[in-house]
């Protein structure tokens, strides 16, 4: 892990000093979020484009410390495509179809760089058994990349939430990779964690700037790439459930949101106030306490993932099933899956 300390610090420093510049740029070009519906938890205009600082920190530090091979180039190019889509969306909203096109292109760029899911562990077979995906590798990779890219954006509803969860997830990926001495993944995960750390002083409640789609979509894309390159391409060693657990907070919250909207006859793209952070706020927790609770949940998921990362795939699968069942039961009790009767806009 000593290989990751310097990149982490440099990325954090770049992000920290770039954020005020991004804030000034956002105000100058009108990339400002104006609260216009009851889903917003802030009551004053807030500059977006905080993701610009995160993007610059990740790109510069990656080029300084990582081998400039096909994998890195595909991640940088794909991430830049996502960044551009988020940048335009923060200035003038892109349609969901427009964003999807950008995401599909970025996912294809990753695949061309050989960052794809070729196989997964088979928990129903002997320990270490691998199931080759064959012709399904490309569509499954695209589904994973597009899905994870959007999950982080969907939880970006409170000051510091998405940045903190991304930081914790990145550190978890780095620690898992450290177990198997995957140096590039250790370093890149630390770089992403550093970029989020440098941004958080400006984004934690009370926030001075939001990361916007510029940051949330970019970080989601990088999380998807890290999970493939660092975990899923090593399925003979690491169970495929590990990245799902590491990204448990955004994945479960997004999955429950999709089911909730379908059960209530709404479009899955229709925003609501049924996310976990909305529920915690309704229970009376402050923004800060809600975010810290979600940090804690994310950290617990990360610890579980690190613990089972070197277990055989069968044992990891059973642990994942237990985690999933507990999560579903708790989510159901909180109304995350069906929504509670009498709650508007859910």
Joined together, the tokens standing for residue 31 give 């990339």
Over residues 49-58, the mean pLDDT reads 96
Q: Which helix (H) or strand (E) holds 269?
A: none
277: left (phi over 0), alpha (psi -120 to 50) or beta: alpha
Annotated binding site: 153, 213
Q: 219-277 pLDDT, tens per residue?
A: 999 999 999 987 666 554 556 788 889 999 999 988 888 888 888 778 777 777 777 88
pLDDT of 134 reads: 87
Judged against a pLDDT cut of 50, whether residue 342 lies above it is answered with no
pLDDT, average across residues 143-163:
90
Average pLDDT of the segment spanning 206-213: 92
Give the Å distances, CA to CA, from 151 to 143, 178, 217, 220, 265. 12, 25, 8, 7, 21
What pLDDT, on the 0 to 100 scale, is given for residue 341?
A: 43
DSSP state of 95: P
Judged against a pLDDT cut of 80, whether residue 131 lies above it is answered with no
Average pLDDT over every residue of 275-289: 85
* Bridge partner residues of 120 (DSSP): 131
d(CA 53, CA 166): 15
Do the Cβ atoms of 316 and 308 come closer than 8 Å? yes
User: pLDDT tens across 72-130, in order?
Assistant: 999 999 999 999 999 999 998 888 899 999 999 999 999 999 999 888 776 666 655 67
Choose between 310 and 227: higher pLDDT.
227
**What is the reported pLDDT for 222?**
96
Strands 46-47 and 119-121 come out as unpaired
DSSP class of residue 64 equals H
Q: Residue 330 has which token pair?
A: 């708790």
Average pLDDT over the chain, rounded to whole? Answer: 87
Name the binding residues for Mg(2+): 153, 213
Which 8-state DSSP code applies to residue 131? E
pLDDT for 332? 84
Cα 306-223-41 angle, rounded to 5 deg: 105
């Amino acid at each position: 892990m000593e290989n990751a300390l310097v990149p982490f610090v440099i990325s954090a420093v770049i992000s920290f000093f770039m954020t005020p510049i991004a804030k000034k740029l956002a105000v100058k070009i009108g990339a400002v979020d104006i609260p216009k519906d009851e889903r917003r938890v802030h009551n004053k205009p807030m500059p977006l484009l905080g993701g610009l600082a995160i993007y610059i920190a990740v790109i510069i530090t990656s080029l300084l410390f990582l081998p400039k091979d096909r994998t890195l180039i595909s991640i940088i190019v794909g991430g830049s495509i996502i960044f551009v889509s988020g940048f335009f969306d923060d200035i003038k909203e892109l349609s969901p179809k427009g964003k999807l096109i950008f995401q599909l292109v970025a996912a294809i760029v990753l695949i061309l760089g050989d960052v794809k899911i070729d196989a997964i562990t088979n928990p129903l077979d002997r320990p270490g058994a691998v199931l080759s995906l064959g012709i399904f590798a490309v569509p499954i990779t695209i589904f994973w990349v597009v899905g994870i890219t959007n999950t982080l954006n969907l939880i970006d509803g409170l000051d510091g939430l998405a940045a903190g969860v991304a930081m914790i997830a990145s550190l978890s990926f780095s620690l898992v990779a450290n177990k198997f001495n995957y140096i590039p993944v250790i370093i890149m995960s630390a770089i992403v964690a550093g970029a989020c750390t440098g941004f958080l002083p400006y984004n934690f409640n009370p926030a001075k700037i939001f990361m916007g789609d510029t940051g949330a979509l970019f970080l989601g894309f990088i999380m998807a790439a890290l999970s493939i390159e660092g975990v899923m391409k090593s399925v003979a060693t690491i169970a495929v459930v590990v990245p799902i657990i590491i990204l448990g907070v955004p994945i479960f919250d997004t999955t429950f949101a999709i089911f909730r909207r379908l059960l209530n006859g709404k479009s899955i793209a229709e925003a609501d106030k049924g996310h976990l952070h909305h529920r915690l706020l309704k229970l009376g927790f402050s923004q800060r306490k809600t975010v810290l609770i979600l940090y804690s949940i994310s950290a617990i998921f990360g610890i579980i993932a690190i613990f089972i990362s070197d277990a055989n795939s069968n044992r990891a699968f059973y642990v994942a099933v237990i985690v999933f069942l507990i999560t579903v039961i708790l989510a159901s009790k909180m109304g995350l899956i069906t929504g509670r009767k009498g709650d508007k806009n859910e």
